[in-house]
Amino acid sequence: MNSIKIGKSHRKINKFLLDAFNYGIEKIRPNKILNKYISANDKEIIVKTKKKVFRYSDIGRIYILCIGKASTEMAIATKEILKKLKTKVNKGVIVVNKENYRNVSGFNSFVSGHPIPNKEGKRAADFVKNYLNDITANDIILIFISGGGSALFNSPVKEITLRDKINVNKLLIESGADIKEINTVRKHLSTIKGGNLIKYCFPARVHSFILSDVVGDDLSSIASGLTVPDNTYFTDVRKVLRKYKLWSTIPVKVKSFISKGLKNKEIETPKKGNTIFKNVQNTLIGSNTIYLNYLKEFCDKKKVNSIIWKRNIEGNVKKLATMFVHDLSKKKLNKPVIFLSGGESTVKVSGNGIGGRNQEFALYFVKEIQKRKLKTKFTLLSLGTDGKDGPTNAAGAIVDQNTFNLIQKSKIDFLNELDNNNSYKILKKIGCLVIMDGTNTNVADIQMLALI
């Protein structure tokens, strides 16, 4: 295979990795995916999954809900697909973050908060409940779910306030808890998550299309499982909060409600076998694993040697960076090669700096390479596929074997800033941030490691 050529300023390898990233994004965007699953003629909606074909006819009314970071494109694509139908499509609903917002005719749009929920997300949930107020068994509800939906679409139980829920959410994110653990708590503090949204959809026929940003593609965890039976309990909520030493720090009203849920099964989230799920179908339409396959496809087309190295990575960025470098030090490598990996790491926030998990991972990787005194020539791209890494305007970072020298020359107190979770400041000063617009999709994070 052809070798990867590097310009004096590494522009060629950087461009190659970013081109590969964008190639995968284009393949996994809703306007490229949904046509594979949904079609329509004048009388019916047809959904083709890997296992079965669903035909929805004798339709009363059609409702469309798009919730998550990919919502805008999902709405546009669905509108085009359904235009042959004679049945009138009700004005739909879009709940999306500001980076991916566009006005779409025929839809009510809500620009909500992420990663911290806000009042607009609650307003969207209240609107949807009213929107579904008079549905019948002949109606069809098409629900399009993508990553970010947990924060963007919120409706706290009446016993707690939105501020209480925001505080709990912030504590969990900063604790280092993974997304499944965070969503276990979120589901039990909500009137719509953990399958509760289906209570408002019953008795209509429901088909949801889910774009996964969760490691392992657990449908009950993506956007906190809006349309899926929940397999977690209040006992699991307490375990998560105790594990991360938050049980004594969460708001009093939240602790009181969880304690109530431990005793009262009637306020549990709906489980498998509940009648409300009788006419509900959930279809996975995209994932991090599929995205990694597209990255490999791009490399193959360019005749560049690549290996899908690690799938479904999760855990603290420090430990992951150590594992990555340790594995590299033990490998006999046929260079040049690009290692591909994906998943979703976590960050334990102990400082007051600004950054994101991809930015921290990249810097800890550089730190570990330096610590082991490895002479490997490398370029590492670590990005969020939604174009956003943490509460910053960056998607992630691109670093190489010269990054540590750049940090030293810039006179940054590297270890102190890293301990302060200030990865953004470091990377901005040395010009290693990757900044882009929202991608209109979200399938977690990817890492591309080019070894020369």
Residue 377: pLDDT over 60: yes
**pLDDT on residue 92:** 97
**pLDDT on residue 8:** 37
Q: In this prediction, what percent of the chain has a pLDDT beyond 90?
A: 89
DSSP tag of 224: G
**H-assigned helices in 111-218:** 119-131, 149-152, 162-175, 179-188, 197-201
Domain with CATH 3.40.1480.10 in the chain: 11-25+289-451
Check the CA dihedral 206-212-218-222 and report its sign: negative
**pLDDT on residue 353:** 95
pLDDT tens digits, one per residue of 246-264: 999 999 999 999 999 999 9
Q: How far apart are CA 361 and CA 382, in angstroms?
A: 8
pLDDT class of 364 with cuts at 50, 70, 90 = very high
8 A C-beta contact, residue 221 and residue 214: yes
8 A C-beta contact, residue 31 and residue 421: no
Residue 161: pLDDT over 60: yes
For 1, other C-beta atoms within 10 Å of its C-beta total: 13
Q: Helices 252-263 and 234-243: crossing angle, nearest 10°? A: 140
Q: In this prediction, what percent of the chain has a pLDDT beyond 70?
A: 98
End-to-end CA distance of the chain: 13
pLDDT tens digits, one per residue of 404-413: 999 999 999 9
Length of the chain: 452
The widest CA-to-CA distance across the chain, in whole angstroms, is 70
8 A C-beta contact, residue 319 and residue 385: no
Residue 230: pLDDT over 50: yes
8 A C-beta contact, residue 209 and residue 36: no
- What integer is the mean pLDDT of 344-362? 95
Q: Could you tell me where the beta strands, DSSP code E, fall in 223-329? A: 280-286, 306-316
Taking the CA atoms of residue 248, residue 249, residue 254 and residue 257 in that order, the dihedral angle to the nearest 10 degrees is: 0
Contacts of 324 (CB under 8 A, 6+ apart): 310, 341, 365, 368, 447, 449
Q: What is the mean pLDDT of the chain?
A: 94
Q: Which residue has the tokens 């020298």?
A: 405
DSSP tag of 265: G
Residue 387: pLDDT over 80: yes
Q: Residue 249, by phi and psi: left (phi above 0), alpha (psi -120 to 50) or beta?
A: alpha
Residue 9: pLDDT over 80: no
Helices (H) and strands (E) counted in the chain, each on its own, are 16, 15
pLDDT class of 88 with cuts at 50, 70, 90 = confident
**pLDDT on residue 10:** 53
Q: What is the DSSP string of 88-122?
A: PBPPEEEEEEGGG----TTEEEEEE-SSS--HHHH
Look up residue 432 and give its amino acid: C
Q: Which is more confidently placed, 123 or 87?
A: 123
Of the candidate ranges 146-150, 194-198, 293-297, the one whose mean pLDDT is the lowest: 146-150
Residue 7: pLDDT over 80: no
CATH code given to domain 37-155+190-232+269-286: 3.40.50.10180
**pLDDT on residue 329:** 87
Measure CA 91 to chain center.
26
Residue 323: pLDDT over 50: yes
Q: How far apart are CA 5 and CA 452, in angstroms?
A: 9
**pLDDT on residue 5:** 34
**pLDDT on residue 452:** 85
pLDDT class of 381 with cuts at 50, 70, 90 = very high
Q: Which of 235, 244, 128, 250 is nearest to 192 (CA)?
A: 128
For 48, other C-beta atoms within 10 Å of its C-beta total: 14
DSSP tag of 5: P
Residue 199: pLDDT over 50: yes
- What integer is the mean pLDDT of 291-313? 96
- What integer is the mean pLDDT of 413-427? 96
Contacts of 291 (CB under 8 A, 6+ apart): 24, 27, 28, 342, 385, 443, 446
pLDDT class of 2 with cuts at 50, 70, 90 = very low
- What integer is the mean pLDDT of 9-38? 90
Domain with CATH 3.40.50.10180 in the chain: 37-155+190-232+269-286
**pLDDT on residue 134:** 92
Q: In terms of DSSP bridges, do strands 396-400 and 378-384 run parallel, antiparallel, or are they unpaired?
A: antiparallel
Element (H, E) at 423: helix 423-429
**pLDDT on residue 4:** 35
Q: How far apart are CA 195 and CA 188, in angstroms?
A: 10
- What integer is the mean pLDDT of 344-373? 95
Residue 1: pLDDT over 50: no
pTM: 0.91
Choosing among 3.40.50.150, 2.60.40.10, 3.40.1480.10, 2.40.50.140, the CATH entry for 11-25+289-451 is: 3.40.1480.10
- What integer is the mean pLDDT of 132-155? 95
